[in-house]
Structure 1
Amino acid sequence: MQRLLCILAFTGLLAGCAYNPFGQGSGTPGDYRAEGKASYYGARHHGKRTASGERFNQNSLTAAHRTLSFGTRVRVTNLRNDRSVVVRINDRGPYSRSRIIDVSRKAAESLGMLRAGVVPVRVESLD
């Protein structure tokens, strides 16, 4: 009886760890897809270390995401103009709860979002 209780408790703990509050996808390559708001960061952070350890380059196609693994490539689509860009996750963020991704200045240019600053986007993993 005690063994059965231990197994049930362990199974319950594992099930609780599987919950992902930040969007769809379980970590399996290619299954992440979410819609929300994106912002960008640039000159103020240029040259500083990212959470992955590399230096941030505002002129590269990179992004910050809360949960996706470093190195994951994602397609970000601006839902206002249907422009998209593929970026590589190399940092953690955004720190604003109302946003799902922060892209580099170069990616923001490609998405046509420099003037707006924050736009609705769709994010889809490619890896």
Structure 2
Amino acid sequence: MLRRNSFRLPRHPASVGLARRRVREHLVDWGHVEGTAALEDAVLVVSELATNVVRHGPLLEREFEVAVTALADGSCLIEVSDEGTAAPRLREAGEWEETGRGLRLVEHVAAAWGVWSRGRHGKTVWALMAA
């Protein structure tokens, strides 16, 4: 059975933690077991994607959207949408840099990830999390 929930959050650093909590709550409500690697990886991914929006999103954007979908096979899809049209890019962070590793983490823990353009309405960065 497919279950989906989406919510909008203000583009503010505190929203990253709220996105993590809401995704965790939805997945646990839908039968994912608290403390499992799959659940923790999904929470990590939403944290990284939401952080990217807060740090790099369009300056005039006030909100962004997070969606979580539980798929029939036990996997889940995490989506974070904003009004920016520039696709995020993987980069190599220097040894002493404090930022720049988020998409590498997403790439490492997700079964797949990518970007869907919404034309002039922005983009959605998505990550498919294995069961």
Q: TM range, normalised to the smaller chain?
A: under 0.3
Name the structure where strand makes up a greater proportion of residues: 1
Bigger-Rg structure (1/2): 1
Name the structure where helix makes up a greater proportion of residues: 2
Q: TM-score, normalised by structure 2?
A: 0.23
| Relative contact order higher in (CA < 8 Å, ≥ 6 apart) | 1
